[in-house]
Structure 1
Amino acid sequence: MPLYEYVCQSCHHELEALQKISDKPLTDCPACHTSTLVKKVSASAFHLKGDGWYVTDFKNKKQSTVDKKTSDKATS
């Protein structure tokens, strides 16, 4: 379930709510009890699992090649 952030336009109270996507948005502020609660737009995070992604398959191969070249120059 996604975690939504809300802010009250009256008292500027901020809260987070764990809700289903199909749930209706919250409207009542728990701090001042007005109906001026709105959803904040916030950045989401995700993690790519499995093979075939830049982090798991391509990133380290090039880095290890650069490390070998650097270590060869350092020993010369």
Structure 2
Amino acid sequence: MPTYHYRCKNCEYDFTERQSFDDDPITVCPECGQEQVRKIYSAVPIEFKGSGFYRTDGASKSKSE
């Protein structure tokens, strides 16, 4: 199950919640009770592992080049 990061616009309370893809987003703040919660989106880090990601890992050059 993915973890989502939320923040309340009213009291600025930050929290994370594990939810299924089928669950509705949280809209009510557990701290102040206001309906001001928004999901926070952030960049996902990408890590390239294995061969094929470097210039030297490409196809071998022919002798005519």
CA-CA distance at 1:27 after TM superposition: 0.8
Residues of 1 paired with 2:22 and 2:46: CA distance? 20
Partner of 2:61: none
Structure 1 residues 46 and 18: CA distance shift in structure 2, 3 A: farther
Higher strand share: 2
| TM-score, structure 1 normalization | 0.60
Partner of 2:51: 57
CA RMSD of aligned residues (A): 2.5
Of structures 1 and 2, the larger Rg is shown by: 1
CA-CA distance at 1:44 after TM superposition: 2.5
State the number of aligned residues: 57
Residues of 1 paired with 2:38 and 2:13: CA distance? 11
Q: Which runs of 5+ in 2 are unaligned?
A: 57-65
Which 4+ runs in 1 deviate beyond 4 A?
none
Partner of 1:38: 38
Higher helix share: 1
Q: Which amino acid aligns with 1:57?
A: S
Q: Which runs of 5+ in 1 are unaligned?
A: 48-53, 63-76
Partner of 2:22: 22
CA-CA distance at 1:38 after TM superposition: 0.6
| TM-score, structure 2 normalization | 0.69
Higher relative contact order, structure no. (Cα contacts within 8 Å, ≥ 6 residues apart): 2
